[in-house]
Amino acid sequence: MVRNAYVTDLKSLQGECSANYLRLIRLVGDMEEGQRRAIQLGERGDNALHLYIHENAPYTTMVHVSQTGLMDHLLESPKMRVHLYHDVRMAEVTNFQRERHFHGRYRYPNPRMHQPDEKLQLNRFLGEWLAHGLAHGRSEYLHEVP
């Protein structure tokens, strides 16, 4: 059986990054550097999507995205850093759970056990996460913390 090497699906990756840019722009709105926003996802307010503007420059913005919930005492909650590139209107995951700089493709198996399309999967996960926040977040609970 001959195994073909994984070929990066650049069109899908760019599509995810473009869609994530639009989602994040809707969620962060006019937030400035150093501001935080929590979007309540649960009925009882026990689950929230957190956005923090770490850096804001004319062409890029760095946003930390995390989530809190009921299982925080058992599992590490998801955390990622996302760069928004305003000139090309794309958002890319650059850190996830303290790992940085993901390649477009990986040989498999590899020492870190990354999937061949790890970068695409992380950006898809971000898209699903943000879409859930947009669809189910409670605007009445939306607030900024200085």
Q: What residue ranges do the domains of the chain occupy? A: 15-136
- Give yes or no for a contact between 9 and 117, defined as CB atoms under 8 angstroms apart: yes
Per residue in 50-80, pLDDT tens? 999 999 999 999 999 998 876 666 667 889 9
pLDDT at 140: 41
Q: Determine if the peptide bond prior to 111 is cis (ω within 30°).
A: no
Neighbours of 129 (CB within 10 A): 18
pLDDT at 42: 73
pLDDT at 73: 62
What share of the chain has pLDDT > 70, as a percent? 71
Averaged confidence pLDDT in the chain: 81
Of 23, 8, 7, residue with least CA distance to 125 = 23
Say which residue, 13 or 80, is predicted with more confidence. Answer: 80
pLDDT at 57: 94
Per residue in 99-118, pLDDT tens? 766 655 556 665 665 565 77
Distance CA 125, CA 93 (A): 10
DSSP H stretches of helix in 63-117: none
Give the pairing of strands 90-96 and 99-100. Answer: antiparallel
Instruction: Say if residue 86's pLDDT is above 70.
Output: yes
Q: What pTM was estimated for this model as a whole?
A: 0.80
**For 51, what's the count of Cα atoms within 13 Å in the CB-facing half-sphere?**
30
Residue found under tokens 């870190």: 112
pLDDT at 69: 79
Instruction: Work out the pLDDT band at 30, boundaries 50, 70, 90.
Output: confident
